[in-house]
Amino acid sequence: MLNNRKITVVLPAYNAEKTIERTVDEIPRDIVDDIILTDDASWDNTAELGRKLGLHVIRHDKNRGYGGNQKTCYEAALSRGADIIVMLHPDYQYTPLLVTAMASMIAYDQYDCVLASRILGNGALKGGMPLYKYISNRFLTLIQNLLIGQKLSEYHTGYRAWSRAVIERLPLLSCSDDFVFDNQMIVQAVYFGFRIGEISCPTKYFDDASSINFKRSVVYGVGVLTTALQFLLKRCGLTHPAFLEDKEACRLPQRALS
For residue range 111-127, what is the model confidence (pLDDT) as tens digits?
999 999 999 987 788 88
CB contact at 8 A, 32 and 8: yes
Question: What is the band of 207 on the pLDDT scale with cuts at 50, 70, 90?
Answer: confident
204 pLDDT higher than 50: yes
3-state DSSP call for residue 169? helix
231 pLDDT higher than 90: yes
**Which phi and psi (to 5°) does residue 38 adopt?**
-110, 115
- Reported as a single tens digit per residue, the pLDDT across 43-89 is 999 999 999 999 999 999 999 999 999 999 999 999 999 999 999 99
Average pLDDT on 216-230 reads 94
- Reported as a single tens digit per residue, the pLDDT across 141-200 is 999 999 999 999 999 999 999 999 999 999 999 999 999 999 999 999 999 999 999 999
Angle at 133 between CA 17 and CA 129, to 5 degrees: 60
Neighbours of 23 (CB within 10 A): 24
CATH code, 183 = 3.90.550.10
pTM (two decimals): 0.94
Q: What is the pLDDT of residue 258?
A: 45
- Residue 256 domain flag: no
- Residue 102 domain flag: yes
Integer CA distances (angstroms), 218 to 124, 182, 212, 214, 230, in order: 20, 16, 10, 6, 18
Range of the domain at 134: 7-250
Cα separation, 236 vs 98, in Å, equals 38
Mean pLDDT of the chain: 94
202 pLDDT higher than 70: yes
Q: Which residue has the higher pLDDT, 103 or 218?
A: 103
Integer CA distances (angstroms), 224 to 93, 139, 146, 191, in order: 22, 11, 13, 15
Domain count, the chain: 1
Cα separation, 249 vs 112, in Å, equals 23
Neighbours of 126 (CB within 10 A): 10
Question: What is the band of 130 on the pLDDT scale with cuts at 50, 70, 90?
Answer: confident
Question: What is the band of 256 on the pLDDT scale with cuts at 50, 70, 90?
Answer: low
Instruction: Rank 126-130, 210-214, 247-251 by mean pLDDT and report only the highest.
Output: 247-251
257 pLDDT higher than 60: no
Q: What is the pLDDT of residue 216?
A: 83
Q: Which residue has the higher pLDDT, 19 or 128?
A: 19
Angle at 80 between CA 75 and CA 81, to 5 degrees: 105
Cα separation, 76 vs 255, in Å, equals 8
DSSP string of 30-85? Answer: TT--EEEEEE-S-SSSHHHHHHHTT-EEEE-SS--HHHHHHHHHHHHHHHTT-SEE
Identify any residues that bridge with 34 across adjacent strands, giving them in sequence order: 8
- Residue 258 domain flag: no
- Residue 255 domain flag: no
